[in-house]
Amino acid sequence: MFSKNKDKDIVVENKGSKSISNSKIPSIISPDVNIIGSVSSEGVIQLDGRIEGEINVRHLTVGIHGLVEGAICAEEAIIKGTVTGSIKAHKVILEKTAEVRGDIQHEVISIEAGAIIEGKINHMSENVAELAITKKSSKPDDRLNEKPSEKPSIEKIPQQK
- Residue of 1, 2, 25, 3 lying closest to 12 (CA atoms): 25
pLDDT tens track for 139-158? 444 444 444 444 444 444 45
pLDDT at 7: 45
- Residue 73: Cβ within 10 Å count: 22
* CA–CA gap between residue 102 and residue 87 (Å, rounded): 7
pLDDT tens track for 7-57? 444 333 334 444 444 457 889 999 999 999 999 999 999 999 999 999 999
The structure's pTM equals 0.66
Whether the CB-CB separation of 48 and 65 falls below 8 Å is answered with yes
Residue 113 has pLDDT above 80, yes or no: yes
* CA–CA gap between residue 126 and residue 26 (Å, rounded): 26
pLDDT tens track for 31-41? 999 999 999 99
Strand order from edge to edge, sheet including 67-69 = 34-36, 50-52, 67-69, 82-84, 99-101, 116-118
Strand order from edge to edge, sheet including 121-123 = 27-29, 39-47, 55-62, 72-79, 87-94, 104-111, 121-123
Residue 71 has pLDDT above 70, yes or no: yes
* CA–CA gap between residue 154 and residue 23 (Å, rounded): 53
Ordered by start, the domain boundaries in the chain are 27-135
* CA–CA gap between residue 133 and residue 56 (Å, rounded): 10
- Residue 104: Cβ within 10 Å count: 23
